[in-house]
Amino acid sequence: MDITVQELKEKLERGDRFVLIDVREPHEHEDFNVGGDLIPMGDIPMRLHELEEHQEEEVVVYCRSGRRSATIQALLQQAGFKNVRNLEGGMLAWEEAFGR
């Protein structure tokens, strides 16, 4: 199940408990991010063990456009994560809706 930028912004403002992961590259994260933990897409498979404790929690993944994070969403679901949500449109949609 995906999540819109509006839904994510509301969750962040409410202080909801969930895991937020930025799967972009470090330079993209430094340029602009919404507070997610940076784990670049290529590092996820070897760092999966770091995330295992969150298998039962809501996990939101995001990237620039939503493509890379959709790939990671599928990978995490295959690894047994129960509630992984991809940010529709990624940071491009966030910037379009809210700016930086």
- Give me the active site residues, please: 63
Residue in this structure with the two tokens 């290529």, named with its chain if needed: 42
Distance CA 9, CA 23 (A): 18
Report how far residue 1's alpha carbon sits from residue 75's, in angstroms, rounded to the nearest whole number. Answer: 14
Helix runs in the chain, H state only: 5-14, 26-31, 44-51, 67-78, 90-98
Residue 23: HSE in the Cβ half-sphere, 13 Å Cα cutoff: 28
